[in-house]
Amino acid sequence: MEEAYPVERSRIIQTKLVLPPDTNHLQTIFGGKVLSYIDEIAALSAMKHSNSVVVTASIDSVDFLSSAKVGDALGLEAFVTSTGRTSMEVYVKVFSSNLLTDEKTLTTESFLTMVAVDSAGKPMPVPKVIPETPEERRLYQTAPARKENRKRRAMIR
């Protein structure tokens, strides 16, 4: 029997404070800073699922839905939604919270593909994933369509 873990095993939650050096002239966070946070938390999630070092293979899309301002807290959540033989699709969502008003807004959503690698940098097999919640099942069921889109994008190059 193949090894498989519940999605919950890979779930990572982080909080970051938006500070002035992280922002542009409008005092909203740089998109590149958010991308860095997204890549980092996706790697942590994939490493937790696979018990191995991982590399980023792709970032499907990053949708910036709203901005975060100086003083806001960014809440990041990531988990593995599906796996291939050596790859893992990781879903990351980012919320912006005004800690003074308790207002919370979804700011960013993204899907990344991470690949587990051994000490020589060669891809290695990863455990399957077991979705349990409605959100996890929905993302698991829609993963093949996203994978097909990634393949189509690669063929265009």
Specify whether the CB–CB gap between 81 and 145 falls below 8 A.
no
Residue ranges per structural domain of the chain: 4-156
Where does the pLDDT of residue 1 fall: very low under 50, low under 70, confident under 90, or very high at 90 and above?
very low
- Categorise residue 143: left if φ over 0, alpha if ψ from -120 to 50, beta otherwise: alpha
| Residue 62 in this model has a pLDDT that exceeds 50 | yes
Mean pLDDT of 117-131: 96
Average pLDDT, the chain: 94
| Residue 2 in this model has a pLDDT that exceeds 80 | no
Name the residue among 119, 125, 123 with its Cα closest to residue 49.
125
| Residue 152 in this model has a pLDDT that exceeds 60 | yes
Q: What is the torsion angle, in degrees rounded to the nearest 10, for the CA atoms of residue 113, residue 134, residue 65 and residue 54?
A: -20
What's the maximum distance between 2 C-alpha atoms anywhere in the chain? 55
CATH dotted code for 4-156: 3.10.129.10
150 CB burial (10 A radius; 0-12, 13-18, 19+): middle
